[in-house]
Amino acid sequence: MSTTAYQGATAEAIRHHYDVSNDFYALWLDRSLTYTCALWAEPVLGTEAVPDDLETAQARKLDYLIEGARAVGTRRVLDVGCGWGSVLSRLTQVHGVQQAVGLTLSDSQAALAESAGIPGAEIRVENWRDHHPAEPYDAIISIGAFEHFARTGLSRAERVAAYREFFGRCFEWLPPRGRLALQTNVKGNNTVMDKATVRELMFIIETIFPESEIPALSEVVEGSEKLFDVVSLRNDPDHYSRTCAEWLHRLRNNREAAVRFSSEENVANYENYLEASVRHFQNRHLGLSRIIFQKGR
């Protein structure tokens, strides 16, 4: 049992973002409601970009991480931060997994994922920190949730300690040589920022994702030290830039309905955040890591 306070975003802060309205998100995400960076067919940007679509690119991303975690055909898999259930559904419906357990802090996400009746899936509104599984998992996947595991304003040492606790739990829940597939935004290595850039990034942290923080890649790896080996690592900022551009395009095409399902202020905020994200992934103020970890002992 942990004696320190949870250092990540509170359930209230998570709900502030993800409980806006399921209908609102359905207007601009792909059909699987995957709300994280897709994996596009290469090359991603430029005149010679290969024809691709968001649905296919999201399924390719899920498969990349599911295969990387060696979850295919296994009995029990955990998805930490399961959103509206796209990983759970892909695990049990496409990859022959018997039981897929998903954790989220959002009631609306859980309600929608439950209503889909995904065979073999169990959706829990539960912080990973309070999760005490009766049995171990064969593999663990976590996509786009890590950014919420350390809140804004912590020191580097505090953030690393918070990440370390997450890796420690995953270590306990996996068998020897078990794998964790993690996808997370990371800070980019272009640290040259004008005032407008700093303002835009602060707007995203304060207004769109309160209490959350984008980790440095070194902090993620440091948090995993002596527990996990890094098997592979991809940095795909252009993939997130293109994903955000696609989301923004869909949101603008459905603007009237988006305002009806939320508010004018909310839609304007999302347009600003997606538009800023397109640029900041492109100019490397932000990065996108997909890391396959394996238990080191």
Using CB under 6 A, list all residues that contact ligand SAM: 8, 14, 18, 34-36, 80-83, 86, 103-106, 109, 127-128, 143-145, 148
Residue 127 C-beta: closest distance to ligand SAM, Å: 4
Q: Given the complex with ligand SAM, which of 148 and 239 has the nearer CB atom?
A: 148
Rounded (to 5) percent helix, strand, coil in the chain: 45, 15, 40
For ligand SAM, the closer CB: 9 or 297: 9
108 backbone dihedrals φ, ψ, rounded to 5°: -65, -40
Chain position carrying tokens 């790896």: 221
DSSP 41: P
Nearest distance, CB of residue 47 and ligand SAM, angstroms:
30
d(CA 27, CA 116): 17
* Closer CB to ligand SAM, 111 or 193, in the complex: 111
Rounded (10°) angle between helices 11-18 and 107-115: 60
Give the residue with the Cβ less far from ligand SAM, 208 or 216.
Answer: 208
Helices (H), ranges, the chain? 11-18, 22-28, 54-68, 86-93, 107-115, 156-173, 195-203, 217-224, 237-253, 255-261, 264-282
Coil, helix or strand for 43? coil
Q: How far is the CB of 200 from ligand SAM (least distance, A)?
A: 19
- As measured in angstroms, the least distance from the Cβ of 109 to ligand SAM is 5
Q: Which two tokens stand for residue 277?
A: 């994200």
CB within 8 Å of 164: residues ≥ 6 apart: 222, 223, 224, 227
**Shortest Å distance, C-beta 194 to ligand SAM:** 28
Name the pairing type of β-strands 121-125 and 179-187.
unpaired
The nearer residue to ligand SAM, 86 or 294, going by C-beta atoms, is 86
CB of 192 to ligand SAM, least distance (A): 28
C-beta of 89 vs 294, nearer to ligand SAM:
89
Smallest distance, ligand SAM to C-beta of residue 154, A:
15
Counting every residue, how long is the chain?
297
- The CA angle 163-166-170, to the nearest 5 degrees, is 140
CB atoms within 10 A of CB 189: 11
Q: Say how far apart CA 94 and CA 37 lie, in whole Å.
A: 20
- Nearer to ligand SAM (CB atom), residue 100 or residue 103: 103
CB closer to ligand SAM, 21 vs 190: 21
Least distance in Å: CB of 191 to ligand SAM?
25
